Amino acid sequence: MSGHVVVATGFNREVACVAPLAGIVAVAGGGDPVGLRGRIEAAAAGAAGIVSFGMTGALADGLAIGDWVVADRLWGATELACDPAWTHALAAALPGARIGGFYADGRMIDTISEKLALGERHGALAVDMESHVAAAVAQARGLPFAIVRCVSDGARHLLPHAITVSMRPDGGVDGKAMLRSVAARPGQIADIARTSAGFAKAMRELKRGAVRIGPRMALPG
């Protein structure tokens, strides 16, 4: 199978993790589904597949920060089975990775009870904000689709407000929005530090995992 693989992410720093890989075109756009879809559509010309890659929030107990999750199915705004051969190739490249469902509808899930309920209702292990957009493009174009993501926060942890407002549509981080949030809600500082430490650990694992996954994000063929 010829053609590049489109990698859809939320942040530019996630793009940087896969940038050295051959045979990929990576785009970012977390929190901006319309803009992200346009970037994926533009990158998908001549593509062999589309994969959602980056950090993810756990929806089930037993997943630790730095653990890998590979999807077999996506639920939410777009419902789609992932390509089985690609799913297993990704899992084989990441020893210890869990295979299971993902959920994505574009929302930042803001209660622990809803996170756990979504996980139980759909048999989903994790949630993100880009997979449904990537899946919709893959479905429309008849391309193989996969999700491979690294846990950055646990099922019983809610992201502090300053983190939730920091995602810029272009994949960058809005530092001013974070500072405004901290000024208005100083009690979240300790949780921001804990959350940031988790993100840093997940980012280190993302970089290591990208090397293990290899060219064209392990797409078979």
Asked if 21 and 217 touch (Cβ cutoff 8 Å), the reply is: yes
Burial bucket for residue 137 (CB in 10 Å: 0-12, 13-18, 19+): buried
pLDDT tens-place string over residues 9-47: 998 999 999 999 999 999 998 778 999 999 999 999 999
Backbone angles phi, psi at 157, to 5 degrees: -125, 130
Residue 1: its pLDDT value, please?
Answer: 58
Residue 157: its pLDDT value, please?
Answer: 83
For the beta carbon of residue 188, count every other beta carbon within 10 angstroms.
17
> What gap in Å lies between CA 150 and CA 48, rounded to an integer?
23
Residue 196: its pLDDT value, please?
Answer: 81
What letter would DSSP give residue 10?
S
What letter would DSSP give residue 23?
T
Residue 165: its pLDDT value, please?
Answer: 72
Residue 162: its pLDDT value, please?
Answer: 66
Which residue ranges of the chain lie beneath pLDDT 50? none
For the beta carbon of residue 131, count every other beta carbon within 10 angstroms.
34
Backbone angles phi, psi at 200, to 5 degrees: -60, -40
Residue 145: its pLDDT value, please?
Answer: 98
Residue numbers of the domain that contains 120: 5-218
> Which of 117, 41, 109, 122 shows the shortest CA–CA distance to 75?
122
CATH number of domain containing 88: 3.40.50.1580
> Which of 79, 193, 199 shows the shortest CA–CA distance to 147?
79
Q: Which residues pair with 49 in a beta bridge?
A: 5
Q: Which residues pair with 104 in a beta bridge?
A: 76
Residue 178: its pLDDT value, please?
Answer: 78
Indicate the number of domains in the chain. 1
